[in-house]
Amino acid sequence: MLLSGKTRGDRVIWSIVAVLVVISLLAVYSSTGSLAYKQNKGNTEYYLFRQITFIVIGVGVIYFTHLVDYRFFSKVALWLYIASIPLLLYTLLFGANLNEANRWIKLPLINLTFQTSDFARLALFMYLARQISRKQNVITDFKKGYLPMLLPIGITCLLIAPANLSTCLLTGATGLLVLFMGRASIKHLLLTIGIAAIPVVMLIAAAVFTHKSEAATVAANNESGVVQNIRKQGRVGTWVSRIQDFIYAEGDAVPYQVQQAKVAIAKGSWIGLGPGNSEQRNFLPHPYSDFIYAIIIEEYGFLGGMLMVFLYLAFLYRCIRIVGKCPYAFGTFLALALGVTLAIQAISNMAVNVNIVPVTGVTLPLVSMGGTSFLFTCFSIGILLSIARNIEQLEGKEEPAKAEVAA
Range with lowest mean pLDDT among 29-38, 127-136, 336-345 = 29-38
The three-state (H, E, C) secondary structure of the chain, written as one string: CCCCCCCCCCHHHHHHHHHHHHHHHHHHHHHHHHHHHHHCCCCCCHHHHHHHHHHHHHHHHHHHHHCCCCCHHHHHHHHHHHHHHHHHHHHHHHCEEECCEEEEEEECCCCEEEEHHHHHHHHHHHHHHHHHHHCCCCCCCHHHHHHHHHHHHHHHHHHHCCCCHHHHHHHHHHHHHHHHHCCCCHHHHHHHHHHHHHHHHHHHHHHHHHHHHHHHHCCCCCCCHHHHHHHCCCHHHHHHHHHHHHHHCCHHHCCHHHHHHHHHHHHHCCCCCCCCCCCHHHCCCCCCCCCHHHHHHHHHHHHHHHHHHHHHHHHHHHHHHHHHHCCCHHHHHHHHHHHHHHHHHHHHHHHHHCCCCCCCCCCCCCCCCCCHHHHHHHHHHHHHHHHHHHHHHHHCCCCCCCCCCCC
| Predicted pLDDT of residue 200 | 84
Range with lowest mean pLDDT among 11-20, 148-157, 246-255, 376-385 = 246-255
| Predicted pLDDT of residue 407 | 32
For the stretch 339-367, pLDDT in tens is 999 999 999 999 999 888 888 878 899 99
pLDDT > 80? residue 234: no
For the stretch 204-229, pLDDT in tens is 887 777 766 665 554 445 444 444 44
pLDDT > 80? residue 107: no
| Predicted pLDDT of residue 221 | 53
Range with lowest mean pLDDT among 84-88, 271-275, 303-307, 356-360 = 356-360
For the stretch 193-206, pLDDT in tens is 999 999 888 888 87
| Residue 255 banded pLDDT, cuts 50, 70, 90 | confident
| Predicted pLDDT of residue 108 | 65
For the stretch 60-77, pLDDT in tens is 999 999 999 999 999 999
pLDDT > 90? residue 129: yes
| Residue 403 banded pLDDT, cuts 50, 70, 90 | very low
What pTM value is reported for the model? 0.86
How does the average pLDDT of the chain come out, rounded? 83
Q: Which residue has the higher pLDDT, 359 or 265?
A: 265
pLDDT > 80? residue 332: yes
| Predicted pLDDT of residue 318 | 95
Average pLDDT over residues 290-318: 94
